[in-house]
Amino acid sequence: MDAGLPPLRVMSTMSALPIRIRKARLSARLSQAELARRVGVKRSAVTQWEHPLGTTPSMHHLIQIAIETGTCIEWLATARGPCILEDTAASAVSIGSDARNPQEDEALLRFRRLPAHKRRIALQILQVLSG
């Protein structure tokens, strides 16, 4: 080891998660309150997720954060892979979608962005429209 170089400081993936969540939110130009609304939690939850000693979001919420901020879930969860999705129309989470065309893919992406109570309404509307 070269005596002239300072020692490397390594931050664990878990302790860096709050930094990645904050970076994703700021890159998407969302306030904590707006991200909270879109994910379906209180603003204080987002504050906790972004605090180094705060709570860790559930996998469901982590996926929602990725979708709402346009970041890759792998990067958000583990710091591996690209940070931002290259194709903004692509979903942040690839779950093996059964979408048959771009319109279905977009509808699924938009559906995932809805809070739970609006998802129920959207499903009711689809039921009425599909006869």
Residue 125's domain spans which residues?
13-129
Per the domain annotation, does 104 fall within a domain? Answer: yes
Residues 6+ apart with CB under 8 A from 10: none
Q: What is the pTM of this model?
A: 0.58
Selection from 78, 105, 115, 92 nearest residue 28 by Cα: 92
For CA atoms 123, 99, 36, 11, the dihedral sign is positive
| pLDDT tens profile 12-23 | 444 599 999 999
Amino acid at 47: T
- The alpha carbon of 44 is separated from its chain's Cα centroid by a whole number of angstroms, namely 17
Overall domain count for the chain: 1
| pLDDT tens profile 22-40 | 999 998 899 999 999 999 9
| Cβ–Cβ < 8 Å for 71, 88 | no
Per the domain annotation, does 5 fall within a domain? Answer: no
- In the structure encoding, which two tokens stand for residue 25, read together? 């939110």
